[in-house]
Amino acid sequence: MSIPSFGVGTFRLTGQVVVDSVRNALDVGYRAIDTAQIYGNEADVGQAIAESGVERGELFVTTKIWTANYAADKLVPSLRESLDKLRTDYVDLTLIHWPAPGNGVALSEYMAALAEAKALGLTRQIGVSNFNIELTRQAIEAVGKGEIATNQIELSPYLQSRKLTAFLKEQGIAVTSYMTLAYGKVLKDPVLGQIAAKHHATVAQVALAWALQLGYAVIPSSTKRENLASNLLARDLKLDADDMALIASLERNGREVSPEGLAPVWD
């Protein structure tokens, strides 16, 4: 995989809350951090990284371009602003946050601008987020096969998107799972609870281990140091074939996020 399999997310966290979350994450062993322009916390993440004492070369930092910055004359300048906030010369991965089909900027235009950002050395890798199969195909056509590092999509035991993930695997594009715990809804699931009890693990660890075993990267967030450390232990949890089959049966197309005007027609 061209991207780390385990990172810390920062969605909905701002100010001192996100500074503490990222510093705690780095302290307990995380080395990948996911943020976005629209989160309004890039400067806070930059502060946390600076205060952590961890060398920049040890970190993998991802940000996402917001829809207002998709135009060819805006994308690169907006990314430079993100780099200033993050206190770094480059990010490791930059994503188009949403396809935003009604945004007035053609996919070919914003993908070309993203490729330019990579050519300029502002980002090491590029990718997309919340793209369906057809739009991912168009993105590949725009920048070339092998250029798209990942498609970051909502995935959880309740939303498994098998058609899309199979396509991404076929294309050699890594899958990054966000909202793997479905806003915490899966934490109350009795099936996952049974699997967790069997392995003396937490339900969160089971859900994250499921995604990892399918080959996905995960970026869970938490404001609690103990939960950040606990989630990381999912890397050591090995689910058996029975566990994976039980989790496969939980699919219910339980999508949590689909903003009008930004989301595509889902597969």
Please state the residue numbers annotated as binding site for substrate.
Answer: 97
3-state secondary structure of 222: coil
Residue 134 exposure: Cα atoms within 13 Å on the Cβ side: 6
**156 closest CA partner among 72, 247, 71:** 247
As annotated, the active-site residues are 39
DSSP-assigned states of every residue in 123-146:
EEEEEEES--HHHHHHHHHHH-TT
Measure the CA–CA gap between 96 and 38, rounded to whole angstroms. Answer: 12
3-state secondary structure of 152: strand
- State the DSSP code for 173: P
CA 181 to chain CA centroid, nearest Å: 13
Residues annotated in the binding site, as ranges?
97
Measure the CA–CA gap between 175 and 215, rounded to whole angstroms. Answer: 8
Amino acid letter, residue 235: R
